[in-house]
Structure 1
Amino acid sequence: MNKSFRRLALFLLVMLVALTGCQVVGGFDVNKALLSNLKPTSSESKEKLSIEVVPSAGNHSEEVTTAIELINSLSLTLDSVKVQDQNTASIEGSLSLKDTKVPFHLSVDKEGIALQVDGAKKPLYISMDSYSEAYYGMLDMTLLENEAQDFSYKTLELLLKHVPNPKNISVKQSEQQVNGEKLNLTNLHVELNGEDLLGLVKPFLNSLVKDEQGIKELIGAYYDAFYPIMESIYESYELEEDDVSEFTQQSKEEVIAEIYTSVQETLTELVNNYDKEVSNLLETSPEFKTVLGKNTVLKLDLFFDSKLNIRKQQLDLAIAIDPSEDMPIQSIKAKYDREVWNIGGSVKADKVDIAAGVLNVIDDNVTPGKLLRNFEGVAPLHKVLKNDFKITEKSVYIDPQNEYYGIIMKKNTSFAPLRYVAEELDAEVKWVPATKQIKIIDDITGGEIVLTVGSNKAKVNGEIVNLPQPPFVHTDGTTYIPLRFIAETLGANVAIDEYGWITLERD
């Protein structure tokens, strides 16, 4: 019970942070106002997000200090966000990192997502067709999106209905500037700390467990959302009757009754054991005493117009952390500001130009080398990816006795499967029929290695080098090559650990 309680309790806490306040405050219907902003509509906005990590007292390693400085230098500014409809939008803004600003342009439509970073050779691209096929097979994505959106709305509606107001919540009229225009807006102000947040969970559960009708309506929405999806899956893969789950063979009323019974039992158990489980949670996981203490503070201001549209948002969040050797920080802070206008108006998204080609993130097998070469014209980003995020780092472990990828010893030379080692280091392997040679293209440098089976001569970037022994084709058809040569030529160091495994390490 304790483990499952922790997961659910933490989930509810996160939800309560996002959905604080549902009752009428000063004549202002908070629930209605928040729900009215969940339905997608056209709009324009500008936003800014910054994060600060506060290190714990004492000296820290250079690696920790560098990581914290990198995070603290990060800020995201969205100068122009245009939502044309629920499928079409664009963002133009910049990412600030280490005092360097990297402008970017992102757009989304039914065909895909395109991201152009200023100075990059090609936009990064995710095809919606490829994404859908990779993650959802033959599923009708339109059906999934519409039903899931409706289910999400009804879920939030039920949660908001039962979330109690925190102690510090107020409403007042306020004059604010939105995109240079002065507006008289209704300001909803919420302020709560970790202790307040923890105190909201039990009243929320007590209220929710009594709402049989609301829970059943949500289960019905779940059924309406996912039953057609499951049917689509079964039809697409032409499953046999025996393979169809019991869920699809029951009536809607039977499904609702069965799921409600389970939900009701779980909620009742949570309510009955809440105080005990919270006590156990704080005792067995002392770090939560800090996270759910007075120093974790959320301050949120939402500014509504007369139509209940949120026109401005200001959020300040500080999460207190119990410092440790693995987590040498005492708090994480986030600041977010947003202004919105032209809500429901005529908005046309600014699409990224992909006519000259893209780097397709899914279809093109984007390796670290391809990514770095694409951003060679973006010096700060290229440097951060390589030096700070270390995307070229690679560790390959080889069991010498492995039946398929092991080592073969010949004349005191360790041979490894050529394709396996090369591809583990992201290199591309090609067979050239005209010359009966093997060409290996280094992922990081773009350099070429040309080999001939049976020859101890090879070309590395056009220069002839001698191999300790020639490559050979094993009886199973696999081409083997001296391990140290191929690994070191592709930038990796070779070592043997205490268990006899071979490790290839590339920085």
Structure 2
Amino acid sequence: MRKIKWLAIPLALLLVALTGCQAVGGFDVAKALASSVKTTSSESKQTVTVEVVPAASAKLTAEDQEAIDLINSFSLNIDSAKVQDTKHISMKGSVGLKEEKIPFLFSMDDKGIALEVEGAKQPLYISLQPAIPGLADTSYMEAGAQELSVKMAEFVLKHFPNPSVLTVKQTSTQVNGETLNLTNLHAEVRGDELFGLIKPFLSSAVKDEQGLKDLIGGYYDVLTPFLNTLGDLPEDTEITPELAQETKKQAIDELYTEIKQAIEELLATYDEDVADLFAETPELATVFGKDTVLKLDLYFDSKLNIRKQTMELNVTLPASEDLPISAIKVRSDSEMWNIGGTVTADQVDTREGVLDVTETEPTPGQILRNFKDVTPLYKLLKEDFQLGYKQVVLDTQSEYYGVITKNGTSFVPLRYLSEQLDAEVKWTPGSGQLVVIDDLTGKQIVLKVGSKQATVDGKVVQLSQPAFVHKDGSTYVPLRFLTEALGATVDFDAEGWITIIRE
């Protein structure tokens, strides 16, 4: 499915093209869109649906049809999104999947990001605290980053040309149950006009010396204080305001010269480069054809706040055996209210513990056990995404894998194979007893060095040969026993390769 990459390219360029909206019908589109970049308190709701369209000539396999049906059953329904400030955000809603709904609550604060799925044992958690004590605090960068994002939007909006379809009208519409008189901005961008919009943007932008330098200066102001904290300056170094200003001016001038030169070089061969790109990759003619279309309706109030938004994206795809679909359609509808008002974001309750994915990468078993009671999600992870699937290939001719044949039995290092299958190994010093904990089931396998007897989930099992400690200090166990005890199958071929598969 390598051609799936073409989905991201047109979407990104279509969205960029819409930033080229200049004044239409007396409505300052650029100003309105630039103001929407600023983060302010608000409440909103949104729905997102996806549709995959099979290619008419495609001969779909059962697996293909199952994947398409799964994607087409997806929907994201955010019933309540709250932005308290840049650090406190929440979203409450559900994910639709296979005609079932999975309720969730997402929240973010200055400490971390949490996702609570109804029925899951613990919320997923991503810590936003510095992983390394003493690491530079970047909180002071937030205000600068906000200002910089507005500068970037204003610069792009100033120079990008309008798409072919761009209209403005006054209309009355419902937002969160309230009838409002709003300004409706309607825009349509076709795939075949995108590359034609980029060249005039670059031509205009490169002539705006002051605009580019202001933008570079914004990046300099945001990043330089942080970068300075990562290096050690001599103790006798004194950075005066005059020196700092001179250094900044020199950096801006140098970067501007480099950027200007790069854009001019790009423009000099732009048409030829685009032609070569389409010649080398014929699929682009379909992806960036007239049937790839983004339709966007934005509804602004008198303060230029976006109160409602409707987006329809259709991306056409080239015929391919690897990708038996002709198009992907995405639709999104959203409404926003209480802009700039008092908003308190909801919080995921983390007092009973979390599955912290920043401390260590969760194993497939940890994830599956966490969502065991969320039936549609569990089935998706286990059956459709095959989260528990493992394949391990061992070369008996290579010392790296440590396969040893002894008394007609193949042995492998206990810890190596266990870790390949995500199992945990525990050892009590001095006892010679080892415990292997199956990642998916949690069952325990208990062995003792030198003993032909082991237990699997409490049941006694006789081994063909006992575990032993090799001269390198590693404990070796019978390969077939450990593989099957961990729910996998083992296959030996004539060329000396061993394939272990856990479904």
Q: Given the two structures, how large is their TM-score scaled by the length of structure 2? A: 0.91
Matched, 1:385 2:381: yes
Matched, 1:360 2:340: no
Counterpart in 2 of 1:279? Answer: 275
Q: Following superposition of structure 1 onto structure 2, how do residues 74-473 of structure 1 map, counting pairs within 5 Å?
A: 74-129=74-129, 133-134=130-131, 138-235=135-232, 251-363=247-359, 365-433=361-429, 435-473=431-469
More displaced stretch, 74-83 vs 392-401: 392-401
Task: Give the AA of the match of 2:500.
Answer: L
Counterpart in 1 of 2:45? Answer: 46
Deviation of 1:503 (Å): 2.7
Counterpart in 2 of 1:3? Answer: none
Task: Give the AA of the match of 1:33.
Answer: A
Q: Which secondary structure does the structure 2 equivalent of 1:443 belong to?
A: coil
Task: Give the AA of the match of 2:199.
Answer: K
Task: Give the AA of the match of 1:457.
Answer: Q
Q: Deviations over 1:45-93 (max 9, x none)?
A: 0000011111112321111111111001000000000111110011110
Change in CA separation of 1:194 and 1:92 when aligned onto 2, cut-off 3 Å: same
Change in CA separation of 1:473 and 1:72 when aligned onto 2, cut-off 3 Å: same
Q: Which secondary structure does the structure 2 equivalent of 1:426 belong to?
A: coil
Q: Deviations over 1:461-493 (max 9, x none)?
A: 001111121111122221111122212211222
Counterpart in 2 of 1:32? Answer: 31
Q: Separation in 2 of the partners of 1:161 and 1:501?
A: 62
Deviation of 1:42 (Å): 0.7
- For the 8 Å contact 1:77–1:95, the answer to whether it is kept is yes
Deviation of 1:115 (Å): 1.2
Q: Deviations over 1:249-296 (max 9, x none)?
A: x92223222222221121111111111111111111111101111100
Q: Deviations over 1:419-448 (max 9, x none)?
A: 111111111111134844111110111111
Change in CA separation of 1:434 and 1:365 when aligned onto 2, cut-off 3 Å: farther
Q: Which secondary structure does the structure 2 equivalent of 1:311 belong to?
A: strand
Deviation of 1:334 (Å): 0.3
Q: Which secondary structure does the structure 1 equivalent of 2:37 belong to?
A: coil
Q: Which secondary structure does the structure 2 equivalent of 1:91 belong to?
A: strand
Q: Which secondary structure does the structure 1 equivalent of 2:275 belong to?
A: helix
Q: Which secondary structure does the structure 2 equivalent of 1:95 belong to?
A: strand
Q: Deviations over 1:216-264 (max 9, x none)?
A: 222222222222222222249x9xx9xxxxxx9x922232222222211
Q: Separation in 1 of the partners of 2:391 and 2:253?
A: 52
Q: Separation in 2 of the partners of 1:276 and 1:43?
A: 47
Q: Which secondary structure does the structure 1 equivalent of 2:90 belong to?
A: strand
Task: Give the AA of the match of 1:390.
Answer: Q
Deviation of 1:39 (Å): 1.1
Q: Which secondary structure does the structure 2 equivalent of 1:488 belong to?
A: helix
More displaced stretch, 473-482 vs 339-348: 473-482
Change in CA separation of 1:135 and 1:267 when aligned onto 2, cut-off 3 Å: farther
Deviation of 1:400 (Å): 3.4
Task: Give the AA of the match of 1:314.
Answer: T
- For the 8 Å contact 1:13–1:197, the answer to whether it is kept is no
- For the 8 Å contact 1:422–1:440, the answer to whether it is kept is yes
More displaced stretch, 253-262 vs 374-383: 253-262
Q: Separation in 2 of the partners of 1:205 and 1:381?
A: 46
Deviation of 1:114 (Å): 1.4
Deviation of 1:147 (Å): 3.9
- For the 8 Å contact 2:37–2:149, the answer to whether it is kept is no
Q: Deviations over 1:102-133 (max 9, x none)?
A: 1111111111111111111111112222xxx4
Task: Give the AA of the match of 1:231.
Answer: N
Change in CA separation of 1:134 and 1:11 when aligned onto 2, cut-off 3 Å: farther
Counterpart in 2 of 1:479? Answer: 475
- For the 8 Å contact 1:147–1:226, the answer to whether it is kept is no
More displaced stretch, 269-278 vs 425-434: 425-434
More displaced stretch, 488-497 vs 28-37: 488-497
Q: Separation in 1 of the partners of 2:134 and 2:460?
A: 48
Change in CA separation of 1:216 and 1:320 when aligned onto 2, cut-off 3 Å: same
- For the 8 Å contact 1:20–1:166, the answer to whether it is kept is no
Deviation of 1:494 (Å): 2.1
Change in CA separation of 1:388 and 1:255 when aligned onto 2, cut-off 3 Å: same
Q: Which secondary structure does the structure 2 equivalent of 1:222 belong to?
A: helix
Task: Give the AA of the match of 2:97.
Answer: L
Counterpart in 2 of 1:68? Answer: 68
Deviation of 1:499 (Å): 6.2
Paired positions, count = 488
- For the 8 Å contact 1:492–1:505, the answer to whether it is kept is yes
Q: Which secondary structure does the structure 1 equivalent of 2:342 belong to?
A: coil
Aligned residues: CA RMSD? 2.5
- For the 8 Å contact 2:37–2:153, the answer to whether it is kept is no
More displaced stretch, 478-487 vs 313-322: 478-487
- For the 8 Å contact 2:41–2:343, the answer to whether it is kept is yes
- For the 8 Å contact 1:17–1:197, the answer to whether it is kept is no
Q: Which secondary structure does the structure 1 equivalent of 2:382 belong to?
A: helix
Change in CA separation of 1:10 and 1:316 when aligned onto 2, cut-off 3 Å: closer
Q: Deviations over 1:292-343 (max 9, x none)?
A: 1110011000000011000000000000100201111100100001000000
Q: Deviations over 1:370-392 (max 9, x none)?
A: 11111121111111111111111
Q: Given the two structures, how large is their TM-score scaled by the length of structure 1? A: 0.91
Q: Separation in 2 of the partners of 1:322 and 1:12?
A: 16
Q: Deviations over 1:397-423 (max 9, x none)?
A: 334355453212222222111111111
